[in-house]
Amino acid sequence: MSVEKMAAKATELKEKGQSNREISQEMHLSQATVEWLLAKQASKNFDEAPPPDVKVGWRTIGVSGSRIQAIAEIMADVILEEQDNIGFELDMVAGVTNNGVPLATVVSDLLGIDFGMIRPSREGTQINYASNYAGLKGKNVVLIDDVVSSGSTAKEVIEFVRARKGVPVLAVVLINKKAENKIDDVPLRALIRARPVRT
């Protein structure tokens, strides 16, 4: 997707009432990049350089249940590897909505452990937990999402789990756009690490 198309998409989402954070989650971009795209779209004479970022799209996986299953199997294998390396007990996985939920559902089935779903905050809402699923209290929880950009959503989810007396032991994502291997003292494993390289 070209920069112009990304700017137009960001503007379209903004006009629909989405916040910059919601747009960044929808487009898998950092909030800084979304702000840059919106400023670029708003000004014909805009000439600032874009912030370093990587646009992520994984629709090729998401359109197929068998592909989601295959990626979830890799995630489950990574979780078991980290369990051996770090030595934590494993009680449940929690999918971060929207994109972490299908992956976490399959991982829960593969590992035979409880499943939960956490909804990060949006403009005008607070983070919450879907009560139809397993509770967090007293459980060691692996968090599953698709992309870590700035890490703000992951930090919010980790704080939420801790506030509900759960223990976040690992975060697993498809793609990590950060250099760090931890978020808020929780180990972070990604199937792919994507970072911009500057010359």
What is the per-residue pLDDT for 54?
A: 62
- Which letter does DSSP use for residue 185 in this model? T
As for how many domains the chain has, the answer is 2
Same domain, 32 and 103: no
What is the per-residue pLDDT for 161?
A: 96
What is the per-residue pLDDT for 199?
A: 45
Residue ranges making up the domain that contains 84: 59-193
Rounded Cα distance between 144 and 94, Å, is 6
Decide: helix, strand or coil at residue 41. Answer: helix
Cβ atoms 55, 6 nearer than 8 A: yes
pLDDT digits (tens, 9 = 90+) for 61-117: 777 889 999 999 999 999 999 999 999 999 999 999 888 999 999 999 999 999 999
Same domain, 32 and 99: no
Which CATH number is 176's domain given?
3.40.50.2020
**Closest by Cα among 107, 118, 183 to 151:** 183
Rounded Cα distance between 157 and 36, Å, is 26
Q: How far is CA 136 from CA 78, 114, 144, 162, in A?
A: 22, 10, 14, 9
What is the DSSP code string of 47-111? -PPPPS------HHHHT-HHHHHHHHHHHHHHHHHHHHHH-----EEEEETTTHHHHHHHHHHHH
What is the per-residue pLDDT for 58?
A: 66
Name residues of the chain where pLDDT drops below 50. 199
Cβ atoms 172, 144 nearer than 8 A: yes
pTM of the model: 0.75
What is the per-residue pLDDT for 37?
A: 77
Same domain, 137 and 75: yes
What is the per-residue pLDDT for 89?
A: 94
